[in-house]
Structure 1
Amino acid sequence: MLDIKSIPAFNDNYIWLIENSDRRCAVVDPGDAEPVIRYLEQGGLTLETILLTHHHKDHVGGVSELVRRYPNVTVVGPKNDPVPPLTHSVSEGDQISLFDETFLVVDIGGHTLGHIGYIGDGKVFCGDVLFAAGCGRVFEGSMEQMHHSLQKLATLPNETKVYCAHEYTASNVAFALAVEPGNHALQSYREEVNRLRARDLPTLPTTIGQEKAINPFLRVEQPEVMASVSARTEKNDPIAIFTALREWKNEF
């Protein structure tokens, strides 16, 4: 099993550091190079790989400096998203080897058209698609595309750990409770999130099983979720419910 650490960046980003047993490591979505370099130097770690999920600056802004600092680093990223220069461009179905673990590349577009995720070692690195108790905004893709991407992630084993890129959990939980106030699992989760954030601790990773229990964007066929958006859409199919939820969250 690989060891995962979070490196905070900006206001609410997490750069995920993946470490193996002999001090080699990879980082996921390094929007800022400085905290990564500081962490590597303090820990005596060797950066071998950068994994990118999509092109937004808070996910790729540190790549050029890291490549300059560590010229032998491998940069892996989406073939169909305008990310910085890559040594390996990947898309749906491709596999990469990371410290003797195999990671599958999945297309999870919607937030951006070419957004990808990496699944392996009981983990998924999903950038800005699935969040704890929420999901990313739909900037470039369609609502249908984003819904499909979330459903794809929901088919992963329940114990899969979800490493998303932002600490949005408290605000996402507030929205989820507005949608599904009768959800007892969500009520308990709010207490856990409040305890963690009061100590300035990360709420991540979450798990697929937990998200299926609390995340309204994965629960569009639940009666209470459907009832909560009934005034916002005349249709009751999953994509219509998802669209109404996402538009509501945009203004929440």
Structure 2
Amino acid sequence: MSVLTVPAFDDNYLWLIHDGINAAVVDPGDAAPVIAALRTHGLTLAAILLTHHHADHVGGVPTLLQHAQVPVYGPAGEAIPTITEPLWGDDLLHVAALSLDLKVIDVPGHTKGHIAYYAARQGWLFCGDTLFAGGCGRLFEGTAQQMVASLAKLTALPGDTKVYCAHEYTLSNLRFAHEIEPGNTALTSRIAAEQAKRSHNEPTVPSTIALEIATNPFLRYKEKAVVARLQEAGRLPTAPSQIDPVETFAALREWKNNYK
């Protein structure tokens, strides 16, 4: 079994999990590139997996269902009319056509009902817009407290878990990360490596949990260097007793929201 990268729009990645015969697609915001990839690789669509309700993740579902009547899995806590199999956190999902087992992880923050899919046997995480390579999703509906808890669930996964996020935001995210931790040597090395990939039009995704823990400021908000940088920028109080980790994360997220 393997994962095929399907680019869409300007910077989306749709993921085709397949065994050479059948396939499940994750977050098909656009049907056309999915249909093209299925035809090119001789695959039959067996299931659709959704992480949250945003149009660039669900917009292609109605057209795909015209081509194949397959189950549509997605978050029970979000109003997505095409879902036929609603899922909650900690549900175990078996995609029979692929012999694929997935654990559903509840990860609110970007949206209220956002979920992620974890394939333990393969070491794959499909996390939508919760965890990005070098970043995390904006808090459109949830709170900083929710996102902190959601990211903690993901970072508890094995370090070699591959992180299949939904966007090519990596270089932009890493520019911000360098603003926060210019002395992080792992980050400096990563920036060079990711720039080299993009110069050859190669995707920077998937990442790994271990790489994110070492270089992603939204997983490193408790680090002294990160706190100190936020204080230096006037985004946190200077008295240590006044610093709360969730407030630190929120300050970091707010800075990134307006970072150019």
TM-score by length of 1: 0.97
Deviation of 1:68 after TM superposition, in Å, equals: 1.1
Deviations 1:78-106 (A, max 9, x none): 00012232221001110111322311001
Deviation of 1:65 after TM superposition, in Å, equals: 0.3
Looking at structure 2, the residues matched to 40 and 122 of structure 1 have their Cα atoms a distance apart, in angstroms, of 23
**Equivalent position amino acid for 2:5 in 1:** S
> Aligned to 1:167, what secondary structure does the other structure show?
coil
In structure 1, the gaps of 5 or more residues are: none
- Superposed, which structure 2 residues align to 1:88-107 within 5 Å? 88-98=85-95, 99-107=98-106
Worse-superposed segment, 130-139 or 80-89: 80-89
Aligned partner of 1:236 in structure 2 is 243
Looking at structure 1, the residues matched to 207 and 81 of structure 2 have their Cα atoms a distance apart, in angstroms, of 29
Given that 2:61 and 2:82 are in contact with CA atoms closer than 8 Å, whether structure 1 keeps it comes out as no
Looking at structure 2, the residues matched to 67 and 180 of structure 1 have their Cα atoms a distance apart, in angstroms, of 46
Aligned partner of 1:112 in structure 2 is 111
Deviations 1:15-64 (A, max 9, x none): 0010014x100000000000101111121110000000000000000000
Aligned partner of 1:9 in structure 2 is 8
Equivalent pairs: percent with the same residue?
Answer: 50
> Aligned to 1:229, what secondary structure does the other structure show?
helix
Given that 1:40 and 1:47 are in contact with CA atoms closer than 8 Å, whether structure 2 keeps it comes out as yes
Looking at structure 2, the residues matched to 164 and 83 of structure 1 have their Cα atoms a distance apart, in angstroms, of 20
Given that 1:158 and 1:207 are in contact with CA atoms closer than 8 Å, whether structure 2 keeps it comes out as yes
**Equivalent position amino acid for 2:125 in 1:** V
Given that 2:5 and 2:15 are in contact with CA atoms closer than 8 Å, whether structure 1 keeps it comes out as yes
**Equivalent position amino acid for 2:74 in 1:** G
In structure 2, the gaps of 5 or more residues are: none
Given that 1:80 and 1:91 are in contact with CA atoms closer than 8 Å, whether structure 2 keeps it comes out as yes
**Equivalent position amino acid for 1:206 in 2:** S
- Superposed, which structure 2 residues align to 1:101-250 within 5 Å? 101-120=100-119, 121-230=122-231, 231-234=234-237, 235-250=242-257
Looking at structure 2, the residues matched to 93 and 149 of structure 1 have their Cα atoms a distance apart, in angstroms, of 13
Deviation of 1:75 after TM superposition, in Å, equals: 0.6
Looking at structure 1, the residues matched to 229 and 244 of structure 2 have their Cα atoms a distance apart, in angstroms, of 14
CA RMSD of aligned residues (A): 0.9
Q: 1:76 aligns with which of 61, 73, 89?
A: 73
Aligned partner of 1:251 in structure 2 is 258
**Equivalent position amino acid for 1:232 in 2:** R
Aligned partner of 1:58 in structure 2 is 56
Deviation of 1:237 after TM superposition, in Å, equals: 2.0
Given that 1:93 and 1:105 are in contact with CA atoms closer than 8 Å, whether structure 2 keeps it comes out as yes
Deviation of 1:236 after TM superposition, in Å, equals: 2.0
**Equivalent position amino acid for 1:81 in 2:** E
Given that 2:235 and 2:251 are in contact with CA atoms closer than 8 Å, whether structure 1 keeps it comes out as yes
